[in-house]
Chains A and B, each alone.
Chain A
Amino acid sequence: MIAQQLLNGLFLGAVYSLFAVGYTLVFGVLDILNLAHAAIFTAAAFTAFSLSMAGVPLPLALIAAAIVAGIMGILLDRVAFAPLRARNAGTLVPLISSIGVAIVIGAVLRGIYGIDERHFTTGGLDTAPAIHAGPLTFTIVELTIFLSAIALMLVLSWVLRSTSLGRRIRAVGQDRIAAALLGINLEATVAATFFIASALGGAAGVLTALRYDSITLDMGGPIELKGLAVIILGGMGSVTGAVIGGFILGAVETLAVVFGLSAWRDAILFGVMFVLLVARPTGLFGKRALRAA
């Protein structure tokens, strides 16, 4: 029972992590919270839904929706963040402008899709076979979601660590002036960061929609707050921290259910967070939060 719930926690945590790495990446590079991240998550789920309705196979729909989400991320930056950046508007004003974009995205989705819940059922998810491994049971869909999320995070980690683009992104995050003086095109690097972050957030949206076979206008709400909790827990701006934080969140949530405390799930979750943050105020992998202090 505990093993099964831990496995469920892993499956859940992988998607939380995937959502949170995009969230934290933007913060790490620009020191701003992108509060439209959850709106793009939702928009990508609807995009994949429309594509699958048009007969596109689900894996292709996932990739295409992630790319659409990435492009939305670049547009989001141009509309909500770039003009403020050019005027040195600080970190609070972009918070408001990103909420504005989130509201617009939500309104457009409601205009197109209405308020009813949508399902992928035509994709054959309902007939996906269950896999039994010893005491554990899971579906091929859950496994695929988990592996997709892990694969995307591994690719991100490789890009950040070992590629020229990754070094540019990290350089801009550490010192924008130094980066400019080393010949880095700041605006292009910020655009690439938004593309990557939003594509990952969008992929998380599609995977979440697949997991519950449900697409709703408000599906981004819970994950937005949980994602924020995850990146604070992991250390603001730390991609590794966001991954680990996501898995901790998934494990705590499912274990609360094991011990019959499902009504207390969120209280336990934020209690654990509280204790961890008292012990480590900058989060598990955070150094950056102290920088401004």
Chain B
Amino acid sequence: MALLEVDGLKAGYGRIEILHGISLRVEPHMLCAIVGANGAGKTTLLLTLSRLLPVRDGRILFDGREITRTASHTVVRAGLLHVPEGRRMLAEMTVQENLLVAAAARKGGSAPADLDAIYARFPILGERRALPAGSLSGGEQQMLAIARALIMQPKMLLLDEPSMGLSPKLVEQIFAIIAEERARGTTILLVEQNARKALAIADYAYVLERGTIAVEGKGGDLLDREEITAAYLGESSATGPASP
């Protein structure tokens, strides 16, 4: 059974509909990528899945339960964790307070043990624990954003552009964390501007185009199909991703 199942999902802002009926499935322990040009609706899709935007039509099933109308914090407590675009630090609170807020959301969690585990895995966060999260570098903030999600022991992670604005070296580091988390068995839905990199590691991928799914398939297969890379990865056109 799929861990996440989305059927005919429609959503948007105000009078504007962005998603025009998205259907997708993510199997347990898989890494699924969503790629597409800017404005295709990738972030809107994640915001709708984590219930920050209302569902206009269709339904969402997570872990066998319907969450189409469930409140965001309930979805989080069910184990569906969204690491948002732009990292969304609690900037005036310390690194440790950011982690404690997250740790408190997990039932049966033990904050001291959970914190120790996170600091062992991300030593730089341990060093910076007493600093305001807003004072961290971009890479450190991304690490904290992921660490906040991991401390809640997710069944599934929704990652929105985790490599955005980072240096190549830090991008490698973030992708290494993603690979490590996948190896631990966490299901991952990855939205990435770096489509080539995302397709290369994805078990399965969806190409989103103007609010609908244009193409889907195994990550490697999509990478090999020239018309996909040409149309969506902007490799054979000088003007970036082409829009038909």
A residues sitting closer than 8 Å to B (CB atoms) are 164, 167-168, 170-171, 174-175, 177-186, 287
> B84: CB under 8 A from chain A?
yes
User: In the complex, what distance in Å separates the CA atom of A183 from the CA atom of B90?
Assistant: 14
Question: Of the candidates B82, B84, B101, which one forms a contact with A184 in the assembled complex, judged by CB atoms under 8 Å apart?
Answer: B101
A-B contact pairs, 20 of them (CB 8 A): A164-B104, A167-B97, A167-B101, A168-B101, A170-B90, A174-B90, A174-B91, A174-B92, A175-B88, A177-B52, A178-B88, A178-B90, A179-B101, A180-B50, A180-B52, A180-B72, A181-B76, A183-B73, A183-B76, A287-B92
User: In the complex, what distance in Å separates the CA atom of A175 from the CA atom of B152?
Assistant: 19
Report the minimal beta-carbon distance from B50 to chain A, rounded to whole angstroms.
6
Chain A's interface: helix, strand, loop or mixed, by majority?
Answer: helix
Residues of A within 8 A of B97 (CB): 167, 170
Residues of A within 8 A of B118 (CB): none
Residues of A within 8 A of B71 (CB): 185
Highest count of chain A CB atoms <10 Å: which of B89, B90, B100: B90
Closest to A170 in B: B93
Closest to B106 in A: A183
User: In the complex, what distance in Å separates the CA atom of A181 from the CA atom of B50?
Assistant: 8
Report the minimal beta-carbon distance from B60 to chain A, rounded to whole angstroms.
16
Contact A183 B84 (CB under 8 A): no
A-B contact count (CB 8 A): 69
Interface pairs A-B: 4 shortest CB-CB:
A183-B105, A178-B88, A183-B76, A180-B72
Report the minimal beta-carbon distance from A162 to chain B, rounded to whole angstroms.
10
> B148: CB under 8 A from chain A?
yes
Report the minimal beta-carbon distance from B142 to chain A, rounded to whole angstroms.
14
Highest count of chain B CB atoms <10 Å: which of A164, A175, A180, A287: A180
> B102: CB under 8 A from chain A?
yes
Residues of B within 8 A of A186 (CB): 72-73
Contact B90 A168 (CB under 8 A): no
Highest count of chain A CB atoms <10 Å: which of B73, B77, B81, B89: B73
User: In the complex, what distance in Å separates the CA atom of A164 from the CA atom of B71?
Assistant: 20
Contact A177 B84 (CB under 8 A): yes
For window 143-185 of B, CB contacts with A under 8 Å fall at 148, 152
